[in-house]
Amino acid sequence: MSRFLPMRALNLPSAAFLPIALTTALSTIACGPPPPPPDNPQNDGPAPTTKKAVPMIESEIGALDANKVQAVFQSASESLKECYARGVGKIGFLAGDIKLAVRVSEDGSAKYVYVKDSTLGDRSTESCMVSVLKGKSWPKPVGGKEGNAETSFSFDPGDEERPPVEWSEARMGDGYKKAKPTLSKCKADAGAGPLKVTLYVETDGKALGIGVSGTDAKAEQAASCIVSTLQSVKFASPGSYAAKVTVTVD
């Protein structure tokens, strides 16, 4: 029986903006008696009224109600578990942690969702979870046009499946070394930051599953290129059992 372990949901409030009003007082020191009034003073009406300028500040990122955000993530948990269950149907030992980030629009819709960190190793499972959160309604940001929300989940396949062997990049073979420039190009073309890629490699050297995560939303744009590239790579054989490895694409 697979185990689904929610870790936490985080609301990232915006930095506080404190408007500052500066008032300068000017005083005059008289040196002697004041001058006499003019002989024919003219009445030009009341003195003009001076209005102080009030700073108007609007933050791009607002705060989200933590309890409401937690409730949305909780409402999505069953659908997220279904995404994972479908992944296990393809990769019996699928397991790992995933952190999902949501940018919430002013109207409470999800502007975008991306996989901020993941060791699951299956892009179809990750994409399924992204779609679930995109379809949710979120609390409207307070004090800004948009807001950020994050959550993390841990997935454990249980004791029924033998886990894959832990592998290293040095053991992945020449095929992977030749593919690295293409992977870097995938990242650069998308304008993404550093990417984390987790793979399951079969005993015959073929990729069974490939997952991609990154530090910003552009990682989603790079993911399909990364997966397509690695699916065509012939890796070294890990031996008698499938292997799991995580690498970084800079």
Find out whether 200 and 243 touch, Cβ atoms under 8 Å: yes
CA 226 remoteness from chain centre = 18
Question: Domain of 6?
Answer: 1-13+60-160
Same domain, 248 and 185: yes
CA 222 remoteness from chain centre = 14
Same domain, 151 and 169: no
233's tokens: 């790579």
Q: Could you report the per-residue pLDDT of 4-57, keeping only the tens digit for each?
A: 554 444 333 333 333 323 222 323 333 344 555 555 545 554 544 444 433 333
Query: At a CB cut-off of 8 Å and minimum separation 6, what does 79 contact?
Result: 132
Query: At a CB cut-off of 8 Å and minimum separation 6, what does 6 contact?
Result: 73, 77, 151, 152, 153, 154
pTM, two decimals, is: 0.76
| Burial call 115-146: b when 16+ CB within 10 Å, e when fewer | bbbbbbbbbebbbbbbebbeebebbbbeebeb
Same domain, 1 and 95: yes
Q: Could you report the per-residue pLDDT of 128-181, keeping only the tens digit for each?
A: 999 999 999 999 999 889 999 999 999 987 777 789 999 999 999 999 999 999
CATH number for the domain spanning 229: value is 3.30.2420
Same domain, 121 and 206: no
